[in-house]
A = this chain, B = another copy of it.
Amino acid sequence: MTASIFDAFLTPPAIAEVFGERAVVAHMLDFEAALARAQAEEGVIPAGAADAIAASCDVALYDPAALVSGASRAGSLAIPLITALRAQVARHDADAAQHVHHASTSQDAIDTAAVLATRRALALIDAELAALSEALLGLAQAHAATPVLARTLMQPAGVASFGLKCIRWTAPVVRARQRMREAAVRALVLQLGGPTGLYGADDARAVAVGRRMATALKLGVAPMPWHTQRDEWVRLGSEVAVVAGSLSKIATDLSLMAQGEVGELAEPAVGPDGRRRGGSSALAHKRNPVSAMVAIAACRLVPARAASVLASMAQEHERGLGTWHAELAEWPGLFTGLYAAAQALREAFEGLEVDARRMHRHIDEAFGARIDVDGDVRRAASLVGHDALALRDAIEHLAPPPWSTD
């Protein structure tokens, strides 16, 4: 709820746009256009009506802010939008207006629009994760044999290599890309049930309408309407939360290694835009780990959102009262949080400064001569080599993403 100024820096513009008014209204209009065209192709509504409807399904013809305002009164964004769409169609073809939204329901349009927006969000996230894993893999190989303390329970426990830390940070990022594909294939499906979930029952043409719409929108077809059985959808949301958890571990380690007294890592002093990052309003010399800060903050908000989405699964009967609405309200935050964290970490690791001398000094202070640094580092490096091959292979064999609509 509410985009306040306090979370502005956790909401990169690219992802905010995806779930914004204009984009989602456009997706709802995509749904209505696809519905009309498919129904016309199946002879359910006249072809001319479908043309008139599709021609009116251009978001530039509507005022999204006014629709949102109407939605507050109606309790649903679909009601003012369908009204406005009918009026728009009627201007050119009064008869066609009667075929708008035929046999469908609010939830069909809204859920499908949410699917379409989510697909775009996943593409944005995947690109950041890809770049992050490249940066991490590069560091892993460059520092395969750079000794660093292994720390358990936040105490020195032995020696490993910084490359090994990097490769182990990488693995869940690569897995994330694969698991997100798997969850997305199942969740990015058309919603089409009609007012009571009977759409397509005992009606071959209606079934065909669904198939045609899915093809047109490049979505999958669900075995049955999923309006109140939202498990595959929530699995995708949970997957996003798991990935944010994996990033939270990287961000936490970064923050610990960048502590002043540790000083093994530092975030880049200059951002991709060439401007200084991480300054202080009071202390000119200070260099703050802003990427870790953003990633930690963003990831900290995700588990609560995942919990809200899970709790909203108790959807009453054939459309939840408040539960459906709570889920959708919470949904974008999952993707925004993950994207913000991924972007921040990608920026940090693409320009990371590694102080190998500090790393060695901490080993000396903790263990002195009591430890076989060379032997342990050689072992760590051998793991890095092995795992880097496996991860590069996994990246090459990632499933084709369902969010690529080319």
Contacts and interface: CB of A to CB of B under 8 A. Distances in A.
A152 B195 contact: yes
A73 to B, nearest CB: 6
Contacts of A151: 259-260, 316-319
A103 to B, nearest CB: 8
Nearest to A290: B75
A95 interface: no
Contacts of A396: none
Interface in A317-367: 317-323, 325-326, 328-333, 336-337, 340, 362, 365-366
B196 A159 contact: yes
Given A152-B319, A157-B318, A289-B154, A19 B4 contact: yes
Contact of A231 (B159, B172, B326): B172
A241 interface: yes
A383 B198 contact: yes
Nearest to A330: B301
B300 A311 contact: yes
A127 interface: no
Interface residues of A, number: 162
A90 interface: no
A374 interface: no
A404 interface: no
A47 interface: no
Contact of A235 (B179, B314, B325): B179
A5 B379 CA distance: 35
A87 interface: no
A326 B10 CA distance: 9
Interface string A231-260: 110110011011111101101110110111
A223 B391 CA distance: 10
A318 B150 contact: yes
A261 interface: yes
Q: Majority SS of interface residues in chain A?
A: helix
Given A19-B6, A249-B229, A326-B300, A260 B155 contact: yes
Contacts of A326: 296-297, 300-301
A229 B322 contact: no
A11 to B, nearest CB: 5
Nearest to A278: B75
Given A153-B319, A286-B157, A321-B154, A329 B310 contact: no
Nearest to A366: B260
Contacts of A292: 321-322
Given A155-B260, A201-B383, A310-B245, A168 B224 contact: yes
Interface stretch (A33-41, A49-57, A77-85, A134-142): A77-85
B1 A150 contact: no
Interface in A284-317: 286-290, 292-308, 310-317
Sorted nearest first, the 8 A-B pairs with minimum C-beta distance are: A296-B322, A245-B313, A3-B3, A75-B290, A152-B319, A150-B196, A201-B379, A4-B19
11 contacts: A1-B301, A8-B72, A75-B153, A150-B318, A152-B318, A153-B293, A155-B288, A175-B231, A242-B313, A296-B322, A306-B307
